[in-house]
Every structure is written in structure tokens, then in C-alpha cells.
Structure 1
Amino acid sequence: MSIIKGIPLLQKFIDAYGVSGNEEEVRDLIVKQIKNQVDEITIDNMGSITAHKKGTQPVLMLAAHMDEIGLMVKKIDNSGRIYCSPIGGFDPTILIGQRVHVGKKGSHIHGVLTTDKISTDLDMIEKPTLDDIYVDTGLSKSQLEKKGITIGSYVSIEVKSGNLGNEDYIQGKALDDRIGCFILVELIKELKKIKNELYFVFTVQEEVGLYGAKTTAYEISPDWAIAVDVTNADDRSPDSSKFLGSGPTVTIKDADMIANKCVNEHIIKLSKKLKIPIQLEVSDIGTTDAFNISLSKGGVPSTVVGVAIRNIHTSVGIAHRKDILNCIKLLKALIKNPPDLCNI
């Protein structure tokens, strides 16, 4: 197995299966890593983890989501073709030819996503929709049912993570948002004596509605919050604004949220003081857990600090090792030097 250079734990997180609503494997990995590093761990009724380091005001919340995009079985025809419903957003054409893992850990089977919309000479007749794509396992419907594959079974992309030719580049299936989970775990391990009240939250079902963030933020009622997530690196386009290897990203605006100005200004000042490069993001598409956190109760000053990746919401993403390490460095400094209460 290829080990991601310098950070093998990240590989374990990326390779774990955890489509939205099925995050158990990821949750178990995280709890194992942090159980002796915090004062208290709770798992709520939805399945999100809250890791608490006790302290005094202000109350700080950092959140990363455990779930990844994937599929769920909605129909199995008599020949054994498995048709699926999407969990999260992606272009169906990127699925064709992908190996997948169908079912639960310990009882899963392997398959390949395919479509009849490809002719014998491999020219695309027309762009397929998800309704045209199915999982081929080589098994009949009755054989699948005997193996426990039914309507509602999960389908996950099956890709092993590792380094590219340049070992600073990391590839894998679930960089969104196992990178964020890894960053939070590293912060928990590195931050020993902190005065502030800290809540590190690993949320569920971000990809289908930011649901875990909503319930955990309501329970914690933080003074301010950071969602740690990935964003799209467009450094292969003519009008690129976010590049791999150019530092953590800080969100000013996304499709659903304008980030808190006070928190962002504090982060920008810290980055300059520590000479950590950052990339500011204004986006018209997508959002993160920070959106639902910011709307909790009377409102929570919130922003997003993260890592730009290529091929976001596809079967294999690409990230830069230096961006991940700089994100940890920046957030560590932010926790040690929090902003004053950022109320209006």
C-alpha cells in the first residue's frame, strides 16, 4: 500500500468508507485517535462527534464533515443491474468505469459502474444521466439479495489514496472532507494547554444538507466558529484564483453565506504576522457547514478555513501536502490567539 508521505493517518481517513448517513467507519477511526486527547467525547443522535477540551470563554467551535459523496441502491433488475440514487452532487459522466464497493464493511462486494450509452467502438452516443448508469457486479438479483445487497444499500467509490509523481501532491477519493477531519485531529493532539473552551466537531450528512452542523451548533452555542473544509482549485483554468501549494483558503462569500468580517480580518492579520500564505475565496457555488452553524440560535460569527483541491466532487481529488500543514499551523495560531467577540 502506498503511504502518503509524512502523514499516513490522512491515508487511513481518505480510504475509509463513509457516504452520507453511513459514517460509522470514519467515526470509529477518529474516536480511536482522539479518545485520550480530550476531556469529553459525545456522539449525538445523528452520529456527529463532539470532542470537548474544557476551558473558559470564549467558546470556540471547529467543524469538519466525515461524510463523502456516493450512491444508494434504489433498484435491482432481474439481471442484477444495480441502479442508484445520488448522495451529494457530481457529474454522472465521471462515474463510468469506476470500481465501487457495494454494501457494508465486512460484507461488501465489488462492482463497476457502467452504461449502455457507450457503443461498441467506445464513442459516447449521448451524455448519460444517472438513470442510465448501473453497477455491474456479475451477480443476478437473487445472488445479490443472498449477499445482503438490497434497496438502501450504500455504494462507494473504490480508490486507494497515495502520492503523485511529485510526492507533495496527494490523491484520493474522499479528500472532501477527510482532509478537514485530519486537520482537526492533528489540532486536538497538538493543543495541550489552551485557556479557551474548545469544541472539535466531526459532522455527518454535510453533503446532503449540512445536517450534522445544525444540531451540534445548537447544542454547543459557540461564540464563534470555523468550518474546516476543502474548496475547488481552479488553477488549470485561464482565470484561476485558487492554486495548489499556495496556502490555506479563507472564504469571504459562497453561494449561501457571507462570512463574518471580524473573524476573517483577524485570520488575515494572523497569517501576515506568521507569514503563512492564504488565498481569499469569493464563490458563486457551493457552501459548507459554516452556513448552518452561522444561523444557530441568535447567530454565530463564522467562516471557512480550508484547503483547495483539484477535481472536487469527482472520484479522485488532488491536494497539496504543504497546504494541509499550513492550514494546521494557521488554525493552531488562531485557537491560541482568538479574536475578540465578533458581534455586530
Structure 2
Amino acid sequence: MEFNSELMKKFSNCFSPSGRENNIRNLIKEEIKDYVDELTTDPLGNLIARKKGNGKKILFSAHMDQIGLIITHVDEKGFLRFSNVGGLHPKELLGLRMIFDNNLEGVICSEELKDKEKLTMSKLYLDVASTSVDFVKNNFQIGDMCVFKSEYYETEDCVICKAADDRIGCYILIEALKNHPATDNDIYYVFSVQEEVGCRGAKTAGYGINPDIAIALDVTATGDSPDGIKMDVKLGGGAAIKLMDKSLITHPQVKELLTNLSIENNIKYQYEVLEFGGTDSGAIHMTRTGVPSGVISIPTRNIHSSGEIFNKNDVLECIKLTISITKS
């Protein structure tokens, strides 16, 4: 199995921030429609692909949405004020270019800061490169969203792109679905909405499907770069089996299952303890009377930035582990 660069590039470049997932949902739908027994979109917008069976009900979930900004005010000079959609820090935004769904762009600038004044979101604004107030007011309005503008780039072993969180998880589910093995299990591949603002889609999908086991596919941080994070996960270390984050302590039987499957199928793996953040499994495992849940994590540097980095071989190991779960 080889890494499909063309598909991942298409996913990374697709404009679909939280609550506006229509574009990526349509791309995924076209990609998988010939490989599923049933394909539905639920009322909240989750895309749910099913491979029917009479055995164990297994739910996989990867979220379609990406972080972004939402316009809150257009001032009298034609500059745009904004708030974040998902986790973003002001100091990491200054100078970045953003793109809207209409392909218009802007650059994030800051007001002048007084002595010892901290940079906050309220000090930032978007300059959309026009001196015409009418142009601005005719093309931008309150509620418009924008996302990072950055180019997709690959080396022999790694990828730099925006929206790896969590388009790479969606990519893994699609490749697993295309290579779906013969199994009696009833498998649901969920491409969820609004994870970046509270795992909302996963919560409703988990409730509706009511699975026997749930596995999220999502990125995780690494400790192999000088950014201050102290953890054992590294690029090239294989699929990361999550043990805990702020939303989930992995069910012991799920941890054992993922570990044993990795060993039995010669899948390279590493354990992950993340001291912040959460995934779709954090919401799913508390639905109804509870769902044993876990996470296959993709080691990723620079999460929630315009240049997230992951290793292609780690992705292939995650695909193999996902496929092995369908037969478990």
C-alpha cells in the first residue's frame, strides 16, 4: 500500500471549518460511495458509511472539520475583526494569510501594543488588501469564516500541510474502507462534524449507532522537536495507541486489543499519553450507558498551525491497525 499524495492534498486544501463541512463531506462521499453498503448524512451533518454485518458493532470516527476564524465585525475603515473557531493562540496567528470560501484572502495584523501589553485576539484584525470600504462590505459579512492559506508539501517520508487535523484521520478511514476485509462485524465509518468546537458530531453519531466498541482516528502531539512538549510519541514511531488525554482514559480491554493486534500483525506502534486535548472518543464513550473506546493517533508536529507535519509511514501503520480491528 502506498501513500496517496493526490488525495491527501485534495483533502488538505478543501475549505471546511467547523459547522461548514459541506465541501469536505461531498469530497469524501464521492470517494467512498462505491465501497459501502449504506451511506447516510445525519441531521447534524455527520457522514456515516456502513459495511453491514451481523456480528460486533464497531464505530470508527474521524472528524471532517478544521480550525478557522469567524468574522465578528467589519469596521468603518474596512478591516475585519474576528474570533477563533477551535483552539488558536493569538501569538501564532500574526502575519498569517487566511482564505475565505469565496477565495478572497486577508493577512492577520495587530494593533500597536503598549509597553508590556499582551497580544490578545481582540488586538488582531484581518487586512483584506483593499482601500475600498464598499468592496470590503460587499464581499465580507459577519459570520463569514476563513482558514489558513498554505501550500501542501512533501518530502520522501513526511508531509507538511494545513488541516492534517483531522483530514489525515479521514484519509486513513477511507483507505481502510477501500481495503475492507471479509468480516461478520457491522462496521460504521463516521466522518464527524464540529469536533474542534466540542466533539458535537461524534456525540450524536455515537448515540444513534450505539456501538459495542468505538475507535477515533485523530492526530496527537509529539515530543521529538524542541517545542517544549515532553512526551514519548515521535514521528516515524508508528501508530500511536492512546492511553489517556483530557477527554478519555482508554478502556483497558481496548488498549489490550489494539496492542495485541499490532503485535500479531507486525504493526509498528507506540503508546501515547497526552496531557491536553481530546478526540471524538471522549464524547462517544459517555453516550447511553457507556461505550468501550480508544484512539489510534497519528503523530503530528505543529498541531493547530498552518504547517502540520506527519510521517507517511506512520499513516500506513494506522491504516493496517484500523483494518485489523474490523476483523477482531
Aligned partner of 1:295 in structure 2 is 286
Tell me the alpha carbon deviations over residues 137-166 of structure 1, each in whole angstroms, 9 at most, x when there is no partner.
12344312222x1000001111121214xx
Q: Aligned AA for 1:73?
A: I
Aligned partner of 2:190 in structure 1 is 201
Picking from 292, 307, 310, the partner of 2:301 is: 310
Matches within 5 A, 1:1-344: 6-102=4-100, 104=101, 107-117=102-112, 126-139=117-130, 140-147=132-139, 149-164=140-155, 167-237=156-226, 239-336=230-327, 338=328
State how far apart, in whole Å, the 1-side matches of 2:315 and 2:78 are: 42
User: In percent, how many aligned pairs have the same letter?
Assistant: 37
How far apart are residue 278 of structure 1 and its match?
Answer: 1.1
Alpha carbons 2:181, 2:326 under 8 Å: kept? no
How far apart are residue 117 of structure 1 and its match?
Answer: 3.4
TM-score for the superposition, normalised by structure 1: 0.90
Alpha carbons 2:247, 2:283 under 8 Å: kept? no
State how far apart, in whole Å, the 2-side matches of 1:254 and 1:141 are: 46
How far apart are residue 275 of structure 1 and its match?
Answer: 2.3
State how far apart, in whole Å, the 2-side matches of 1:45 and 1:335 are: 26
What secondary structure, in the 3-state scheme, does the structure 2 residue paired with 1:287 have?
coil
- Please, which runs of 5 or more residues in structure 2 have no aligned partner? none
Q: Aligned AA for 1:43?
A: T
Q: Structure 1 residues 286 and 83, CA, compared in 2 at 3 Å: closer, same or farther?
A: same
Tell me the alpha carbon deviations over residues 278-316 of structure 1, each in whole angstroms, 9 at most, x when there is no partner.
111122211110011001111110001020100011121
Tell me the alpha carbon deviations over residues 102-146 of structure 1, each in whole angstroms, 9 at most, x when there is no partner.
2x3xx3311111113379xxxx97541111111101234431222
How far apart are residue 6 of structure 1 and its match?
Answer: 4.4
Alpha carbons 1:117, 1:128 under 8 Å: kept? no
Q: Aligned AA for 2:128?
A: T
Alpha carbons 1:59, 1:197 under 8 Å: kept? yes
State how far apart, in whole Å, the 1-side matches of 2:279 and 2:79 are: 34
Alpha carbons 1:63, 1:202 under 8 Å: kept? yes
State how far apart, in whole Å, the 2-side matches of 1:197 and 1:284 are: 33
Alpha carbons 1:34, 1:185 under 8 Å: kept? yes
What secondary structure, in the 3-state scheme, does the structure 1 residue paired with 2:196 have?
coil
Tell me the alpha carbon deviations over residues 193-241 of structure 1, each in whole angstroms, 9 at most, x when there is no partner.
3221010000000000100001111110100010000000121147441
State how far apart, in whole Å, the 2-side matches of 1:47 and 1:133 are: 31
TM-score for the superposition, normalised by structure 2: 0.94
Tell me the alpha carbon deviations over residues 155-196 of structure 1, each in whole angstroms, 9 at most, x when there is no partner.
1111121214xx211000100000000000111111153221
Alpha carbons 1:80, 1:138 under 8 Å: kept? no
Tell me the alpha carbon deviations over residues 5-34 of structure 1, each in whole angstroms, 9 at most, x when there is no partner.
743211111111111011111111100001
Q: Which runs of 4+ in 1 moved over 6 A?
A: none
Q: Aligned AA for 1:334?
A: I
What secondary structure, in the 3-state scheme, does the structure 2 residue paired with 1:325 have?
helix
Alpha carbons 2:219, 2:298 under 8 Å: kept? yes
State how far apart, in whole Å, the 2-side matches of 1:304 and 1:311 are: 20
Aligned partner of 1:341 in structure 2 is none
Alpha carbons 1:95, 1:315 under 8 Å: kept? no
What secondary structure, in the 3-state scheme, does the structure 2 residue paired with 1:57 have?
coil
State how far apart, in whole Å, the 2-side matches of 1:333 and 1:233 are: 25
State how far apart, in whole Å, the 2-side matches of 1:13 and 1:299 are: 32
Q: Aligned AA for 2:292?
A: P
State how far apart, in whole Å, the 2-side matches of 1:275 and 1:52 are: 27
How far apart are residue 274 of structure 1 and its match?
Answer: 2.1
Alpha carbons 1:60, 1:225 under 8 Å: kept? yes
How far apart are residue 271 of structure 1 and its match?
Answer: 1.0
Tell me the alpha carbon deviations over residues 58-112 of structure 1, each in whole angstroms, 9 at most, x when there is no partner.
000000000111100001101111111111112111111111112x3xx331111
